Amino acid sequence: MMIPTVHLNGTGKGHLLGELEAAHRAIGGAIDALAQVTVHGRDYYVQGDQAYRQARTEMDRRLAALRAVQDDVLTMHTAIEEQGT
């Protein structure tokens, strides 16, 4: 993962950290909202025996993808925070 380097001619450390904090919060909000989406067997049984299981797996993958992006953002934040100036 490429991490921005904090230096005199680059974007300020505080600005970078603030942007990443906002992104982390927004992704957290997206995770919370997506987790509230109903995935219940009663909505899928008419599509066949495997439909609910597939829908549940797909939703779990979506949530995992968002969590992975949120983890990347946190990794970037931590790395920038540890840099000088």
Rg of the chain taking only CA atoms, in angstroms: 19
Average pLDDT, the chain: 97
Across 49-77, average pLDDT:
98
User: What percent of the chain stands above pLDDT 90?
Assistant: 98
Task: Determine the pLDDT at residue 78.
Answer: 98
Residue 64 has pLDDT above 90, yes or no: yes
Domain ranges in the chain are 13-81
Dump pLDDT digits (tens) for 3-13: 999 999 999 99
Task: Determine the pLDDT at residue 84.
Answer: 81
